[in-house]
Amino acid sequence: MRSLFLGLATLAPCFIPAAIAEPVPRNVIRSPSQLRPNYDFIILGGGTSGLTVADRLSEAFPAKTVLVVEYGDIEYAPGSFDPPVNWQQSGASVNRWAFNSLPNPAMNNKTAFVAQGQVVGGSSAANGQFFDRGSRHDYDAWAEVGGDEFRKWNWNGIYPFFKKSVTFHEPPPSLVKQHGYTWDIAAYGGTTPIHSSFPPFQWADTWVLRDVWQEMGIKIAKECAGGNKQGICWVPTSQQPVTARRSHSGLGHYADVIASRSNYDLLVRHQAIRVVYPKGLKSGPPIAQVRPVPSSFSSDLFNLTAKAEIIISAGAFHTPTILQRSGIGPAHFLRSAGIPVLLDLPGVGSNLQDHTGGGIRWNYTKPYSSFPIPSDLANNATFKADSIAGFNETPARGPYTLALGNEAIYVSLPRMTSKSTLSSLLHRIHQQATSVPSTAAILPPGPDYGSNPSMLAGYKSQLLTLATQFAKPDSPTMETPFATSSDGSRLAFLLHPLSRGTVQINLTNPLSQPIIDYRHGSNPLDFDLHISHIRYLRQVFDTPTFKKYGAVETGPGKEVADSDALLKEYIKQEIILSFQHPCCTAAMLPKHKGGVVGPDLKVHGTRGLRVVDISVMPLIVGSHTSATAYAIGEKAADLIIREWKGR
């Protein structure tokens, strides 16, 4: 059977373009001997959120020093991030980790493939450049599940920081005319050197699915980044207009600003191991212990002293490992790892979420000819050569400027399912939230999670909040990205999963890479959501446009789709287990709800220690996660600056 889903990782690199000079900043630090004796702020992890904070703090406090410690290297060689070279790769590469999760028992024991940026710029330098924001309901849910104290993180609280976080470039009239791009400039307004723009290219048949969606009654949205996200959305791409080069935090929050900052240092190729409180938790900030990469000796560890704060920004997989190695985490688990418990915080490494996708596929049986479509890159050498040349021209042109596409539909449950299906689902979510045994059975077993009262309380709040959200006709639960229809398959991503997993240090080697246990499908209601989404998407086969092309369904097929049991098996078989959006493993929630950080992103019960990255999301947002990572960085920086300005 042909591979069902064209994921994020299908094509191998095959061409190295001639070198294009890019400035490589000279002041990168590689050895501890080049460091200052101490720093005011030390940020562990130079990724999407971390560099945003570093940039803002070093800008706001010229007399204070900022150090970023980054595991990866600085890497601006041409093509390292951009198509067509180091793009859509599977596996690890110079700028990223590639992980396989533990088997997912509810998904035929399949493992998820999931990558993470390992470079200055973090995952913003390694991602698919799809740059959307969640719906206002996603952020309002953060505030709701957290309670009153967390209100500043609702949509109205975070929206100004979305605006601040990016410079959006309006497309020229010629592109608007050609592709029908729409946007609302009111959703933007930033001037920071993080760029987004609409690509100059669309596949010739992109309109096929646009027509199909409209025939299904889905409306074209003018703008989806302003809080109201539903319908057919154009999404900006994380790239410079004109050159179409990737925009990422390693450029916009480091290389582009460093010339004017004598107080901003970057230590690369060093791994943050843990934080240490020599005089106890109440006398922070802690010391950060770091070692060079590669290193296999714990004797290589050295101490970094912060005068003001340590900020952990190592991403959803690594932030919890730094905390756990510090003795901050689930006490029972830490003891089993032989780590002295400094602070019992069961939420550290719990609450893992990601988007998963099931979908539909079809074959066209009537002539379907359009040029160019993605298969032409594989089949037409002239077209491929011209596409590569076009990407390196200024202005750039051709398919590589599109990355993986910049359109998607977002649909809510009330618009997809019958009233009775919806109310039965909501009823069962409420039942889970009010019945301790069934809730505990969903959560990972053990005293640190499934039977821990604070973790249970937090999960119940999440369920109730999500049930409220699912009932809203303008709060999407499904995303289907598209750029063309020629590949004959489309995914339905579950934007708000109910299953929860964990990230933990490896007990055999706590300094090595984390163990990722998604437990997708452990809440059986996630299958109900997937089923609703797939049944809805199958309506494409009734549209005049698909009939015109003789689109024949090859998956799941009517017989399978009509049976809950068969459709569930189909989903288990075909599901994509990570949309590359792991998050939520150091959740911003009250401690009595299993939270790790409070509304100021300070780790509960500590001094001088914050987490700023997408680990702090209590609930995954209904969008790709980089735009929110930048916004979290901007809002965190604002909170930190206010606090230190006031001292």
Ligand X SMILES: *[C@@H]1O[C@H](CO)[C@@H](O)[C@H](O)[C@H]1NC(C)=O
Ligand Y SMILES: Cc1cc2nc3c(=O)[nH]c(=O)nc-3n(C[C@H](O)[C@H](O)[C@H](O)COP(=O)(O)OP(=O)(O)OC[C@H]3O[C@@H](n4cnc5c(N)ncnc54)[C@H](O)[C@@H]3O)c2cc1C
In the DSSP assignment, the letter for residue 354 is -
Q: Where in 252-281 is the site for ligand Y (CB under 6 A)?
A: 271-272
Contact 621, 154 (CB under 8 A): no
Q: Check 248, 496, 530, 624 and give the catalytic one.
A: 624
Each residue of 192-203: b (16+ CB within 10 Å) or e? bbbbbbbbbbbb
> Is residue 119 annotated as involved in ligand binding?
yes
Kindly state the smallest distance separating residue 604's Cβ from ligand X, in Å: 22
383 interacts with, out of ligand Y, ligand X, none, CB within 5 to 8 A per kind: ligand X
> Is residue 49 annotated as involved in ligand binding?
yes
Three-class DSSP category at 336: helix
> Do you find a cis peptide bond into 294, omega within 30 degrees of 0?
yes
User: How far apart are the C-alpha atoms of 536 and 360, rounded to whole Å?
Assistant: 10
User: How far apart are the C-alpha atoms of 197 and 102, rounded to whole Å?
Assistant: 37
Residue 254's nearest CA partner among 54, 553, 88 is 54
Kindly state the smallest distance separating residue 194's Cβ from ligand Y, in Å: 12
Structure tokens that stand for 624 in this block = 């790709």
Kindly state the smallest distance separating residue 138's Cβ from ligand Y, in Å: 14
For position 105 contacting ligand X by CB under 6 A, the verdict is yes
> Is residue 465 annotated as involved in ligand binding?
no
Is 430 a residue of the active site? no
Residue 210's nearest CA partner among 178, 234, 185 is 234
Structure tokens that stand for 316 in this block = 């959803």
Is 581 a residue of the active site? yes
For ligand X, give the closer residue by CB, 181 or 383: 383
Burial of 443 (0-12, 13-18, 19+ CB in 10 A): buried
User: How far apart are the C-alpha atoms of 522 and 524, rounded to whole Å?
Assistant: 6
For position 581 contacting ligand Y by CB under 6 A, the verdict is yes
For position 221 contacting ligand Y by CB under 6 A, the verdict is no
Structure tokens that stand for 427 in this block = 């009823």
For position 197 contacting ligand Y by CB under 6 A, the verdict is no
User: How far apart are the C-alpha atoms of 291 and 270, rounded to whole Å?
Assistant: 5
For position 298 contacting ligand X by CB under 6 A, the verdict is no
Contact 635, 158 (CB under 8 A): yes
Residues in contact with 208: Cβ distance below 8 Å, sequence separation at least 6, in sequence order: 370, 484, 485, 545, 549
69 interacts with, out of ligand Y, ligand X, none, CB within 5 to 8 A per kind: ligand Y
322 interacts with, out of ligand Y, ligand X, none, CB within 5 to 8 A per kind: ligand Y
For ligand Y, give the closer residue by CB, 323 or 561: 323
Q: Check 530, 581, 592, 604 and give the catalytic one.
A: 581
Distances (CA, A) of 569 to 113, 519, 527, 561, 575: 20, 17, 10, 10, 10
For position 287 contacting ligand X by CB under 6 A, the verdict is yes
Binding piece for ligand X, criterion CB under 6 A, among 103-111, 165-173, 325-333, 608-616? 103-111
Among 37, 173, 278, 437, binds ligand X (CB under 6 A): 278
Binding piece for ligand Y, criterion CB under 6 A, among 222-230, 255-263, 380-388, 621-629? 621-629
For position 512 contacting ligand X by CB under 6 A, the verdict is yes
| Termini Cα distance of the chain | 64
Contact 411, 229 (CB under 8 A): no
Among 43, 54, 67, 115, binds ligand Y (CB under 6 A): 115
126 interacts with, out of ligand Y, ligand X, none, CB within 5 to 8 A per kind: ligand Y
Among 38, 93, 380, 438, binds ligand X (CB under 6 A): 380
In the DSSP assignment, the letter for residue 588 is B
Which active-site residues does the annotation give?
581, 624
Q: Which residues are near ligand X by CB under 6 A?
A: 2, 103, 105, 108-109, 276, 278, 287, 302-303, 363, 371, 380, 382-383, 386, 506, 508-509, 512, 515, 552, 554
What residues form the annotated binding site for FAD? 48-49, 119
In the complex, which residues of this chain contact ligand Y (CB under 6 A)? 8, 44-50, 69-72, 115-118, 122-124, 126-131, 271-272, 313-315, 318, 322, 580-581, 613-614, 624-627, 629
